[in-house]
Amino acid sequence: MNRNYENIILQCADCGCEFDFSPEEQEFYAEKGFSTPKRCASCRSRNRQRKNEKRGGGGSNRPQVRYDVTCSACGVKTTVPFKPNQDKPLYCPDCYRSQRQD
């Protein structure tokens, strides 16, 4: 999808503040088939946290399990929040960001 996206200013449906919808975010949303966001990042985060609490998850009494892995690109040791699948490459945060930009 090689569209020319421009930065868009949106208004949050919850708090009413304005937030940027960057060209990178627009491309990501388009690739995933997502609609334009209606809430700013902090309101989306707050909603996710509320939903987690209703399901009984996300509490500080249950730490997130992380798995030790080695980055497939640079070989640095890192962790991931999911059980690794040997069929797919795993990246450290820096290599992951560079992969997404390519």
49 and 23 in a common domain: yes
User: Is-contact 91 72, C-beta < 8 A?
Assistant: yes
Query: How many domains would you assign to the chain?
Result: 2
Q: What is the pLDDT of residues 64-95, one digit of tens each?
A: 889 999 999 999 999 988 889 888 899 999 99
Which residue range(s) make up the domain with 95? Answer: 67-101
Query: 99: part of which helix (H) or strand (E)?
Result: helix 93-101
Q: What is the pLDDT of residues 6-41, one digit of tens each?
A: 999 999 999 999 999 999 999 999 999 999 999 999
46 and 73 in a common domain: no
User: Is-contact 67 84, C-beta < 8 A?
Assistant: yes
The reply to whether 61 falls in a domain is no
The reply to whether 38 falls in a domain is yes
pTM here?
A: 0.48
48 and 12 in a common domain: yes
The reply to whether 17 falls in a domain is yes
